Amino acid sequence: MTSPLTVGLLAFPDLTQLDLTGPYEIFARAPGMRAVVVGTRPGLIRSDSGLSLGTDCMLDDAPPLDVLCIPGGIGVNGLLTDDRVLDFVADRGARAAWVTSVCTGALVLGAAGLLRGYRATTHWLSLDLLADLGATPVEARVVRDRNRITGGGVTAGIDFALTLVAELHGREVAERIQLTIEYDPAPPFRSGSPRQAAGPLVAALRTDRARVQDERKRRLREALARRGG
């Protein structure tokens, strides 16, 4: 009997829960796949929206991972200067068959040295930061470059997970999962990307997020200087 593929999804304080739970829902329904939530610390992990998530293991006792998946969120800022987490990501990423991320989780992959020379995407507010990490930024919902698959902001995690399931098990399996969860997006507004949203709305969001982005840039510079990026 073939062993299941193990997908390790990193859970850390102030992550965006849908970055993790969206792909988890897909992988949990895929045949021959086992989703494992790897916590950066013991106990429940509180997301940036207040939802508490349980974990299956910690960094030190995580099983071998066939797929490494890093979600994003405000808490990514803290990870960018956390050598314990970055060392784990670098080590497991070097051994995993697939190295993946959702949203700003791509910055963690980059800070761990796993995106240098690869095409990648992330949330539109942080897309320009990928170049500092040696990646080629691509404005897209999902980007695959060899065994790296990165998803754009938050909801793109569902698209990324379906893409990987189709790669591993075929399109029919992925389509069956998509139909089962009735993933048929029809948003009430055309404001889901900066290409579609009104200019003032985009500008207002940039202003609202300026402090988070400034801290993110500072921590990235520190990570690159310390880890030889």
Mean pLDDT of the chain: 97
Q: What is the DSSP string of 85-148?
A: HHHHHHHHHHH-SEEEEETTHHHHHHHTT--TT-EE---GGGGGGGGGGT-EE--SSEEEETTE
Q: Which of 33, 79, 103, 158 is catalytic?
A: 103
Question: What's the number of CA atoms in the CB half-sphere (13 Å) around residue 13?
Answer: 7
CA distance 115 to 150: 10
Q: What is the mean pLDDT of residues 26-55?
A: 97
CATH node for 5-227: 3.40.50.880
pLDDT in tens, 23-32: 999 999 999 9
pLDDT in tens, 195-218: 999 999 999 999 999 999 999 999
pLDDT over threshold 90, residue 10 = yes
pTM of the predicted model as reported, rounded to 2 decimal places: 0.97
- Asked if 69 is an active-site residue, the reply is no
Q: What is the mean pLDDT of residues 41-55?
A: 97
Domain boundaries, the chain: 5-227
